Structure 1
Amino acid sequence: MTPRRAQLRDFLRTRRARIAPGEVGMATAGRRRTPGLRREEVAALAGVGVSWYTWLEQGRDINVSTEVLDAIGRALRLTGPERAHLYVLAGLNPPPPRADATRGDEITPELRHLLEAWTPRPAILRDRYWHLLAINDAARWVFGFDDADHHCLISFFTNMRYRRAHLHWAAVAPSVVAAFRADAAHAPDDPGFGRVIKELSAVSPEFAELWARHDVGTPGQAVKAVRHPEAGDLVFDMTTLAVVDHPDRYLELYNPRPGSETAARLERPRTRTAAPA
């Protein structure tokens, strides 16, 4: 037995051992030699054969489907992380996090504090579809975001102030679209990405043309250069970080490029604002 299948065996055993029969509406009459549910009870709750479930729990080399794993997960009342763990142990890719469970309007005070603490450097919190969830004041000032901006890619193509600020917008646009395609490729059947593509294609022929190329890039590290009307030329190293406890969320942190005057120029408007009237 491989180590992975041995872990699958132990994981399933411990998950069913923690559920009392009465919790799932099953009779508890008679003496039970093991705590929790029996294998045949889990099989009945999941709607699978007893022999098949027994083989799965024994770590045998059998074929499994996402539908069956989901049914077992519901029967064993697995949490989201436990469900993903079951997929991995069974040899399948975990499903993407549910957007309705990870997005929402609630942003933790810790994340908000991090965004503000990054000031005077820009910082953005977005979701997997590139919707803007929160930005700090520096991002508003540097990139020209306003209350109408709700999506990174849509703003990149439709916010004229945002576009004009980018020193190399036309050269960068193909790589931005290619990075979005790379993210969308992880969930080809997810309607969330489809809605963004449809909305932006309807208002931006430039995006539609680039999207039709089917280029795929690498999201993550990038250099961003902007020309600000007050601060002048600003150059940033942009790093994207996943939020571990909210896998649908990503932090984009912009750090002044070493060797540029960006850091000093970012301090000037804050100094003027803080000065007494």
Structure 2
Amino acid sequence: MSPTESGHLRRARLRHFLRARREQITPEEVGLVNVERRRTPGLRREEVAALAGVGVSWYTWLEQGRDINVSEGIVNAVSNALRLEECERKYFYRLAGLNPPQRTEGHRCDSPDARMHALVEGWAPNPAYITDRYGRIEVASRSARALFRIDARGDNCVVKFFTEPSTREKYPDANEVGRGLVAQFRAQSARFPEDPEFGRIAERLCECSPHFAALWDCHEVVGPNQGMRKIAHPQAGVMVFDRLVMRVPENPESLLTLYIAQPGTGSAERPRELVGSHSGVG
């Protein structure tokens, strides 16, 4: 993809993102009196401009995705007006062609090193795996392969979730899981604006999964999502895990996901049995 094409794509994403966020905020939320009936939901462009302290024409050009210079101060002002979360702000920074303020993530390596492999396998009997920038499995422990029915390398977590009904059925809270996967995938795509593979994956999924297409149109973004994860297993029942996600230090493009079985659940009662059985990845 040429720099010109990359710029067009980035500005198109910026246009959709700002409009989606603007339409999700009510006038009452930002202290405006809603005295008239509105034809469209959310705030108007002139209201966002006033809240951010910028000109209406300038904000309109920004939301239209025009090729204009955007400063860090403007991004922060608009972020405040739209009440963006930290991850959404970073996404906005990247779409505006700026580097978000953050600590240096280190140098990229071609693949997770031997220590990460050892950590993943040594996490047994609890599952662990490492994914690349697209959500594809790079390394997976034996327990993760058995529980999630994934290959040691190559399966894409996002694609698997939205194209295999048997994968979605494993999650009692499948709607929440799917929403998080899409929002994280979109945030990842902004970190690599010149990589066309994100667009190809999204296009294929939009064609074959109306569920993915609807979530993709929401333009939600989150960082590596963690917290509790419930997984239904035919022998152990509903297993409950605490889930920790972090970037691999030597290769910040990759994400390490660790599961810890909560006491008193099916997962905690019979974790070792699951390793020997075959029961997507979330």
Same fold (TM over 0.5): yes
Taking the TM superposition and a 5 Å limit, the aligned residue runs for 1:65-104 are 102-103=109-110
Alpha-carbon deviation of 1:195?
Answer: 2.5
Count of residue pairs brought into register by the alignment: 179
Instruction: State the identity as a percent.
Output: 33
Structure 2 residue aligned with 1:170: 175
Give the secondary-structure state (helix, strand or coil) at the position aligned to 2:115.
Answer: helix
CA contact (8 A) 2:146 2:274 kept: no
CA contact (8 A) 1:145 1:162 kept: no
Say whether the 8 Å CA contact 2:136–2:153 is kept in structure 1. Answer: no
Residue among 215, 222, 228 paired with 1:217? 222
**2:122 equivalent in structure 1:** 117
**Aligned AA (1:255):** I
Asked if structure 1 preserves the Cα contact closer than 8 Å seen for 2:146 and 2:275, the reply is no
Letter in structure 2 aligned against 1:150: D
Query: 1:180 touches 1:219 (CA, 8 Å); kept in 2?
Result: no
Whole-Å Cα distance in 1 between the matches of residues 238 and 154 of structure 2? Answer: 23
Q: What residue is the counterpart of 1:142 in the other structure? A: 147
- Normalized against structure 2, the TM-score is what? 0.55
2:155 is the counterpart of 1:160: no
Give the equivalent residue in structure 2 for 1:265. Answer: 270
Q: Deviations along 1:148-195, whole A, 9 cap, x unmatched? A: 962111111112322111112124322321222222233334323222
Alpha-carbon deviation of 1:132? Answer: 1.2
CA distance in 2, matches of 1:249, 1:218: 13
Q: Distance in 1 between matches of 2:146 and 2:266?
A: 17
SS of equivalent residue, structure 2 residue 218: coil
Instruction: Decide which structure has the larger Cα Rg and report it.
Output: 1
1:232 aligned residue (218, 224, 237) = 237
Matching residue's letter, 1:214: H
* Secondary structure of 1:165's aligned partner: coil
Deviation at 1:137, TM superposition (A): 1.3
Aligned partners of 1:221 and 1:240 also within 8 Å: yes
Deviation, 1:122, is: 0.8
1:183–1:219 Cα contact (<8 Å) kept: no
Q: Is the partner of 1:248 in helix, strand or coil? A: strand
1:233 and 1:147 map into 2 onto residues whose CA distance is 24
Alignment TM-score, normalising by the size of structure 1: 0.56
Q: CA deviation at 1:254?
A: 0.8
Do 1:123 and 1:254's aligned partners in 2 also have CA atoms closer than 8 Å?
yes
For residues 196 and 161 of structure 2, the distance between their equivalents in structure 1, rounded to whole angstroms, comes to 21
Q: Match of 1:252? A: 257
Relative to structure 1, the CA distance from residue 172 to residue 107 in structure 2 (aligned partners, 3 Å threshold; closer, same or farther) is closer
2:132 is aligned with 1:127? yes
Looking at structure 1, the residues matched to 138 and 197 of structure 2 have their Cα atoms a distance apart, in angstroms, of: 15
Q: CA deviation at 1:259?
A: 4.6
CA shift, 1:199, in A, is 2.6
Question: For structure 1, which runs of at least 5 residues remain unmatched after alignment?
Answer: 1-90, 273-277
CA distance in 1, matches of 2:200, 2:161: 17
Q: Distance in 1 between matches of 2:138 and 2:205?
A: 18
Q: CA deviation at 1:269?
A: 4.1
What residue is the counterpart of 1:72 in the other structure?
none
Using a 3 Å threshold, how does the CA distance of structure 1 residues 182 and 269 change in structure 2: closer, same or farther? Answer: closer
Paired residues of 1:122 and 1:253 also in contact (CA < 8 A) = yes
Match of 2:205 in 1: 200
Decide whether the 8 Å contact of 1:149 with 1:155 is kept in 2: no
With a CA cutoff of 8 Å and minimum separation of 6, indicate the structure with the bigger relative contact order. 2
Structure 2 unaligned spans of 5+: 1-97, 278-282
